[in-house]
């Protein structure tokens, strides 16, 4: 059975960084194959993996407005183009949503994507969905059942509050979330008592488990500035040890 891992949280909390670290974790643990979906219109997961984008869902959507090759239906053509758009790497594939049709809307493209996601999912053990600040992409991709929802926060009161609110709206969105976790990124080490208090309060007040806390890391900053893939980070580095311990607790629980 394919397991769906979705990332949520306000902008700038490190959802994309967490997605890249998740890919490294799953491939290192041979928990493959993995499909990573960059569902942020401002796509940059590929940059953290040092990969070039050749085609996005938004570009495919534009092609659907033109002529379809004879002998093919639009959904057949969309399915073919989605497979062609996949960036194939060792242990994982990457699919990029790209720019929407208009403000916050993928319209027709989402219809065709939803039609093909079930077929596509059969090929993968895990699907990672790196969302933009909202949660709309999860329903657009027909991913109503989420095995692991990782709500990512920065070490701020507003970030923790937003995480609580996201945890509370999964039910109204009619999303079946089997497990949801709070993950705090870029925290000072040691964690200040006031921040720990906010974290404990959020976990207690919302239906959340605390996945863990990942410290601010110069290794991640230097890796991004150099343009090198996060997949090349050494497993004995502090941030990788922390991230892997967090993921171990989630997937072995």
Q: Which residue has the higher pLDDT, 14 or 117?
A: 14
Which pLDDT score, from 0 to 100, does residue 139 have? 56
Question: Can you tell me the distance from the alpha carbon of 107 to that of 228, in angstroms, rounded to the nearest whole number?
Answer: 35
Which pLDDT score, from 0 to 100, does residue 151 have? 94
Which pLDDT score, from 0 to 100, does residue 152 have? 95
> How confident is the model over 121-144, as a mean pLDDT?
75
DSSP letter assigned to residue 149: E
Question: Can you tell me the distance from the alpha carbon of 114 to that of 110, in angstroms, rounded to the nearest whole number?
Answer: 6
Q: In whole angstroms, how far apart are CA 236 and each of 5, 223, 232, 242? A: 25, 15, 12, 10
Which pLDDT score, from 0 to 100, does residue 237 have? 95
Question: Can you tell me the distance from the alpha carbon of 192 to that of 182, in angstroms, rounded to the nearest whole number?
Answer: 17
Question: Which element (helix H / strand E) includes 36?
Answer: strand 34-38
Question: Can you tell me the distance from the alpha carbon of 104 to that of 131, in angstroms, rounded to the nearest whole number?
Answer: 12
Q: Is the pLDDT assigned to residue 141 strictly greater than 60?
A: no
Do β-strands 92-96 and 87-89 pair in parallel, antiparallel, or remain unpaired? antiparallel
Q: In whole angstroms, how far apart are CA 127 and each of 2, 35, 232? A: 7, 5, 21
Q: According to the CATH classification, is domain 3-251 in 3.40.50.2300? A: no
- Residue 98 in contact with residue 41, Cβ under 8 Å? yes
Greatest mean pLDDT among 8-17, 163-172, 228-237 lies in 228-237
Which pLDDT score, from 0 to 100, does residue 97 have? 81
Q: Is the pLDDT assigned to residue 176 strictly greater than 90?
A: no
What phi, psi does 143 have (nearest 5°)? -95, 70
Which pLDDT score, from 0 to 100, does residue 166 have? 86
Q: Where are the strands (E) in 49-144, listed by range?
A: 87-89, 92-96, 126-130
Average pLDDT along the chain: 86
Question: Can you tell me the distance from the alpha carbon of 10 to that of 152, in angstroms, rounded to the nearest whole number?
Answer: 8
pLDDT tens digits, one per residue of 180-201: 999 999 999 999 999 999 999 9
pLDDT tens digits, one per residue of 209-253: 999 999 999 999 999 999 999 999 999 999 999 999 999 999 986
Which pLDDT score, from 0 to 100, does residue 52 have? 93
- Structural domain boundaries of the chain? 3-251
Q: How far is Cα of residue 6 from the mean position of the Cα atoms in its chain?
A: 5
């Amino acid at each position: 059975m394919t397991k769906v891992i979705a990332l949520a949280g306000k902008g700038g909390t490190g959802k994309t960084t967490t997605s890249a670290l998740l890919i490294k974790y799953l491939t290192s643990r041979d928990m493959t194959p993995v499909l990573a979906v960059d569902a942020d219109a401002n796509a940059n997961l590929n940059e953290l993996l040092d990969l070039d984008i050749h085609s996005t869902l938004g570009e495919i959507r534009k092609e659907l407005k033109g002529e379809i090759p004879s002998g093919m239906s639009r959904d057949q053509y969309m399915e073919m183009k989605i497979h062609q758009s996949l960036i194939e790497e060792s242990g994982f594939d990457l699919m990029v949503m790209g720019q929407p049709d208009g403000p916050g809307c993928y319209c027709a493209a989402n219809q065709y994507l939803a039609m093909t996601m079930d077929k596509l999912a059969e090929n993968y053990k895990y699907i990672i969905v790196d969302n933009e600040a909202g949660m709309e992409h999860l329903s657009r991709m027909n991913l109503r059942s989420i095995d692991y929802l990782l709500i990512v926060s920065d070490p701020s009161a507003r970030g923790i509050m937003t995480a609580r609110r996201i945890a509370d709206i999964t039910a109204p969105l009619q999303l079946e979330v089997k497990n949801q976790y709070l993950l705090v990124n870029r925290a000072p080490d040691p964690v200040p008592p006031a921040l720990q208090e906010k974290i404990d309060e959020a976990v207690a007040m919302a239906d959340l488990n605390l996945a863990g806390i990942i410290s601010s890391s110069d290794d991640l900053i230097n890796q991004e500035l150099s343009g090198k893939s996060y997949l090349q980070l050494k497993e004995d580095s502090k941030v990788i040890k922390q991230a892997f311990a967090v993921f171990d607790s989630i997937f072995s629980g």
